[in-house]
Structure formats: structure tokens, C-alpha cells
Amino acid sequence: MRDIQSLFIKNILNGTRSNLKECGTAFAASNIALCKYWGKRAVALNLPVNSSLSISLGHLGTHTEIRQGNQDRVMLNGSEMAVNEPFVVRTLEFLDGFRPLLGNTYFEVRTQNNIPTAAGLASSASGFAALVMALNNWAGWELDGQRLSMLARLGSGSAARSIFDGFVQWNAGTNPDGSDSFAEPMAQIWPEFRIGILKISEAQKPIGSREGMNRTVATSELYKSWPAQAEADLATLRTAIDTQDFTTLGKTAEHNALSMHATMMAAWPPLIYLQPDTLEQIHTVQRVRADGLEVYLTIDAGPNIKLLFLEKTQATVAAAFPDVEIIQPFG
């Protein structure tokens, strides 16, 4: 798998020249998928079964700095991590694909997350997107967004979307070499759109998304209907965004998320990321919506809930969910 990724990186960087400066820096926002990516058609290149659509989380994400070192070092939120930590292993394995193109140098990476790491809030998406953009800044490659997206995809599939802000579609593609699987931003801006973060748990989830995804595809009977639903949901969401039809967007995003979790629960052993407090908040959303407050939810592979609502209901949502962190994705 590593050889396949290294060849892919070499092809993407073909024709570029590396001119290392002292360090490279970048920030990438996390994103939440309104139409989820779940399942891979090719594991080595992180090629998805279905296309997906997301919205970025504004100021929430990852800032990364990378420079040459005397040995490989990875620091997360100000603390140096042991080389056998899963986060470090995954980071360095990803960087190994770039090492021969950068003079077989050692890497010193400093990463700062302002969202919980590996807790279902897409920290890996912003993390690998920021890492790729910092590499691009450090080496002076001047890669466009499409190529950055394809490189970020190798580290974490959803990182393909975190290269961009706003609404973003990640095209699944069909080519075996992954050359047509990349994200691209949508032009639509929706200033009244709001996202609310309900942090149920900041603990690292027991089963990572990669393992959970592979288990679901291999063992869940419900997964057979997932690709067709995701394709239909994507088309519906694109139209809802074009027309700013919030009701259709909210219903579709919530149904898409709960359908994804249903496929996980039908896997064996079952994948249950939802915690008791998650279920309690889901019931609260359903109750306040029945009472007339138009708010919807989405949940990635973790216990934390993201609320979807409009500016006109912001005060009411904040009163109904006192612990909510409100994001304005369009500033």
C-alpha cells in the first residue's frame, strides 16, 4: 500500500521543484459532511464508494507548522508525542511518501487542534489538510487546490474536503488510479446558515473511522443500499443549496447521517458510536422541532452532534441547547 501511495505522490508532484524555506505553515478548517462518505472502493488510495458534500467549520480546525529536523518529531497541542503513538505513526507514514522527494530529510511537525482529536469532530480531516498545505508552503510547490485535495485524501479521506472553505463536494471518481477523485468548492454562499456543536465526549473513539468503515462494508447487510441513497441525497442537497431550501437540506442531512449510523449498527461486531447523551440530544432535537423550532442534526463517526439551523432561530436554539457552540461558516 505504501508503494502505491508513494507512486501516486510522485505523479502528483511531477514537474514541480522543491525549494525548502525555513518552515511551512497552514491552517485548515474542519468540516462536517451533510452527505457522508462511508466505504472505500480502493483502500490504498483512499478512494470512496460514493461522492460526499460538506460544509467547513470556520475557525475550528488545525494549524500546522513543518520544518527540517535532526530526527522525526511530532508535537500535538504543545506536547511532544512518543514515536509509537498512533497519531505519530499515522503522520510519519504519510510523510514517508514525500521524504524521497525532499532529500530524505527528517520532519519536525507542530500541530495545534482547537477541536478534540479523534473524537468524531473531523480532526483528522483538518489535520491532514493542514499538513499537506504546510508541506506545499514549505517546499514551494505552488500546487492548485485539486492536487492538494488528492494528496490530503491519502492521509484521511475527508481531508480532501478540508482544503476548501464553505460548501465542498468530494467527487468519488471512477478511475482506478484516483486521478479523478478530488474535492472542489461550491460557489454558493449562505450567510444565514448556522452550525451548532454539541460536544458529548472529547475522548478518542474506540474504533477509528478507517477500521469502522472497512468493517461496515464487509459485514453490514444494510450497507448494500447505502451508495444509491448517498447518490440521491447528494443531488437533493445540491439543489437545496442552490435554492437555499433549508427544510429540504436539514431533512436530507439528518436522514443521511442516521442512515449511515444504521449501517454501522448492522455491522458485526456492531459499531455503536452513539452514547446515551447522544440519544438524549437526538430526542431533544426531535421534540423542539415538533414544537415548531426548525433545527436538524448530523453526526459523523463519533458521539458528537452538529445542529443545523438558520440565523433567525439562533437565540431560540441557544436557549434550547445551553451548551451549544455556534459556528457561522460564512463569517
Where in the chain are the domains? 2-185, 193-327
Q: Which CATH architecture has domain 2-185?
A: 2-Layer Sandwich (3.30)
Q: Give me the pLDDT at residue 117, please.
A: 55
267-283, pLDDT tens digit by residue? 999 999 999 999 999 99
Taking a C-beta distance cutoff of 8 angstroms, is the pair 120, 303 a contact?
Answer: yes
pLDDT less than 50: residues of the chain: 118-120
> Partners of 79 in the beta sheet?
76
Phi-psi region at 173: left, alpha or beta (left = phi > 0; alpha = psi -120 to 50): left
The three-class DSSP label of residue 90 is helix
Q: What is the mean pLDDT of the chain?
A: 94
Q: Give me the pLDDT at residue 119, please.
A: 43
DSSP string covering 238-291: HHHHHHT-HHHHHHHHHHHHHHHHHHHHTSSS------HHHHHHHHHHHHHHHT
Q: Give me the pLDDT at residue 123, please.
A: 80
Q: Give me the pLDDT at residue 204, please.
A: 79
CA 268 vs CA 212, 216, 222: distances in Å: 10, 8, 12
108-140, pLDDT tens digit by residue? 999 999 875 544 455 889 999 999 999 999 999
Instruction: Match domain 193-327 to its CATH number in 3.40.640.10, 3.30.70.20, 3.30.70.890, 3.10.310.70.
Output: 3.30.70.890
